[in-house]
Amino acid sequence: MLHPFLQQLIHALKNLLPIVLVVLLFQLVIFQTLPAEPLSLLIGLLIVAVGIALFLLGLELSIFPVGKNLANQFARKGSLPLLMCFGFAIGFAAVIAEPALIAVAEQAERISQGRIQGVTLRLIVASSVGFVMAVGVLRIILGWPIHWLMIGGYVLVILVTFFAPAEIVGLAYDSGGVTTNIVTVPLIAALGLGLANSIKGRSSLTDGFGLVALAVMVPMISVQLYGIWVYRFAETASTLSLTLQVENGHWLLTALVDLATLVKDILPMMLVVLVFQYFILRRPLANPLKITIGFMMVLCGLYAFVLGLKLGLFPIGQMMAEQLIARGAVQLILLFAFLIGFATTMAEPALIAIAQQAEEAAQGKLRAAVIRLIVALGVALGITLGVYRILSGDSIHYYIMAGYCIVVILTAFAPRYIVALAFDLGGVTTSEVTVPLVTALGIGLASAIDGRNVLIDGFGLIAFASIFPIITVMLYAIIVEHIRLSRSADV
């Protein structure tokens, strides 16, 4: 396994290079200074690269084959209710313990002074994802066109946004964005691709993708409905939250707590897989030793990734945000938003994994490198526009509704093979690399600018990071298809 690991490590280092270049550009050229602890930041980035390499290699050995194999077994068993139950269980278990969702829910409860209940928010989002996984499985089996579901769903999103209170809109879209991470996305994608490959007449590219997109969309609706209830009908509630933190403790104790947290986050999803494999299907896992080794690599990769984030990416994001706000130059803030949006997206492990799966499923129509560039450009544009909205103080309602109106229109005209993938790519852009940096930037800007409300203005950047990749990917496919038809007509 050494050679594949080294290949993945070199690949991960190349993906992190844009982040390093962006930081060096601002530090050396614009601020003309060096970080306080450059060696610590560099070590953190190297640990992130090792984590990504271990994670991606572990995916190929464990999560991808297990997900596809389960889908194949369920398809052969021919039990639709059982398969939908599995979809719901996987969706709920994967999201209820999602660290990014927990962080967003805790921030929302604190900022809203208890009006928004963190646990309630997590239950609503997890139930929404579970429900939509069941519906997504049904869509693949029955062959429903994904574009009608997405058009109808986002028309409903826009309508609900029109009536939702301003305090909940940004949070609702962020809650939808953080439901997908570097563990859930590969497993959900493997489930969809496995089902599509198992059913005669289904296309991996057209039918296999789309589950991630649905997992992002439905929580946006349910959380906004929750916000309408909370802010218009419910009484203000007071809450007491207890958190266990290890501060200034021994490094080994801190490391063990972090590792235990990761195991806790992944455990519900793995229990669902094992229960359905052994107790429902009553079949042993194929190659259990290989899958166990792969799973341990995924766990070690995730741990290294999180550790590297704390040592490298988090301090970089906080340091850059503070320096930019202190400078007060709008152009510099927008430039940083664009560049860091592009750089972090290129380093997203979930995007790397899905882009590779898409290239294999497309059979020559798409290239993974091009997909990642188009998606990164979309995220960069989206975060830049979102930061501009915070700086200008404009209402998020109009930006979000206009963005999804464009998405709905493009969905009607885009080639059918790209629709499901485009929406999935919009979901995978908001994972463990992007979310911390983007959330910190949004809340930091809203806190530093007079007249801004952190709950209304601080959230929402993740939504912009989700919308614009859908737009850029669909535009790319429309342009490529137009060029192909023009050449065919000339011939």
Quick one: which of 93, 144, 96, 152 has its CA closest to 120? 96
Burial class (CB in 10 A: 0-12, 13-18, 19+), 388: middle
Secondary structure of 35-71 in HEC code, one letter for each residue? CCCHHHHHHHHHHHHHHHHHHHHHHHHCHHHHHHHHH
Cα 112 to Cα 167, 177, 179, 391: the distances in Å are 9, 20, 21, 21
Residue 209 is predicted with a pLDDT of: 82
Q: Average of pLDDT values for 309-334?
A: 75
Q: How confident is the model at residue 317 (pLDDT cuts 50, 70, 90)?
A: low
Residue 239 binned pLDDT confidence (cut-offs 50, 70, 90): very low
Residues 272-282 have pLDDT tens digits of 778 888 887 78
Q: What is the 3-state secondary structure (H, E, C) of 249-286?
A: CCHHHHHHHHHHHHHHHHHHHHHHHHHHHHHHCCCCCC
**Distances in Å between the alpha carbon of 385 and those of 177, 462, 464?**
17, 11, 7
Domain count, the chain: 1
DSSP summary character for residue 427: H
Give the whole-number percent of the chain exceeding pLDDT 70: 87
Position 159, amino acid: L
- How far is CA 191 from its chain centroid? 17
Mind listing the pLDDT tens digit for each residue in 240-265? 333 334 444 455 666 677 677 667 66
Element at 125 (helix H, strand E): helix 118-142
Give the closest residue to 461 by CA, choosing from 384, 404, 395: 384
Burial readout 341-374 (b: 16 or more C-beta within 10 A, e: otherwise): bbbbbbbbbbbbbbbbbbbebbeebbebeebbbb
Given a contact cutoff of 8 angstroms between Cβ atoms, the answer to whether 82 and 120 are in contact is no
* The total number of residues written for the chain in this structure: 491
Q: Which residue range is the domain that position 213 belongs to?
A: 2-237+245-490
460 is written with which tokens?
Answer: 């929402």
Q: What pLDDT does residue 261 have?
A: 67
What is the per-residue pLDDT for 97?
A: 64
pLDDT at residue 388 in the model: 92
pLDDT at 184 > cutoff 80: no
Higher pLDDT pick, 53 / 237: 53
Q: Is pLDDT at 384 greater than 90 in this prediction?
A: yes
**pLDDT surpasses 60 at 163:** yes
- HSE of 142, CA atoms in CB hemisphere, 13 A: 12
Lookup: tokens for 131: 């429900």
Q: Which two tokens mark 192?
A: 């969809």
Rounded mean pLDDT, 460-473: 87
Instruction: Give the DSSP letter of residue 363.
Output: T
How far the first Cα of the chain sits from its last, in Å, is 48
Q: What does the pLDDT read at residue 436?
A: 64
Measured torsion, CA atoms of residues 328, 332, 338, 343, in degrees rounded to the nearest 10: -100
191-207: average pLDDT:
80
- What pLDDT score does 140 carry? 86
Of 266-275, 311-320, 394-403, the range with the highest mean pLDDT is: 394-403
Measured distance CA(242)–CA(236) in Å, rounded: 20
What confidence score (pLDDT) does residue 214 get?
Answer: 84
Name the strand (E) or helix (H) holding 483: helix 461-490
DSSP state of 285: P
310 vs 390 pLDDT, higher one: 390
CA nearest 124: which of 83, 72, 168, 73? 168
Using alpha carbons, list the distances in angstroms from residue 428 to 38, 89, 350, 376, 425: 30, 20, 6, 11, 5
The structure tokens listed for 471 are 């737009």
**pLDDT at 156 exceeding the cut of 80:** yes
Closest residue by Cα to residue 213 from 281, 157, 293, 279: 157
Lookup: tokens for 465? 């990071």
Q: Using one digit for the tens of pLDDT, what is the confidence trace for 395-420? A: 887 888 888 889 989 988 888 888 88
CA–CA dist 385, 82 (Å, integer): 44
Report DSSP letters for 305-318, one per residue: HHHHIIIIIHHHHH
Work out the mean pLDDT of the chain and round it to a whole number: 80
Report the pLDDT averaged over residues 80-87.
83
Predicted pLDDT at 448:
75
pLDDT score, position 248: 47
More confident residue, 329 or 371: 371
Integer Cα distance of 382 and 446 in angstroms: 17
* In contact, 418 and 203? CB cutoff 8 Å: no
CA 139 to chain CA mean position, Å: 22
374 pLDDT higher than 90: yes
What's residue 243's pLDDT? 39
Where does the pLDDT of residue 375 fall: very low under 50, low under 70, confident under 90, or very high at 90 and above? Answer: very high
pLDDT category of residue 468 using cuts at 50, 70 and 90: very high
Identify the CA nearest to 436 among candidates 170, 174, 119: 174
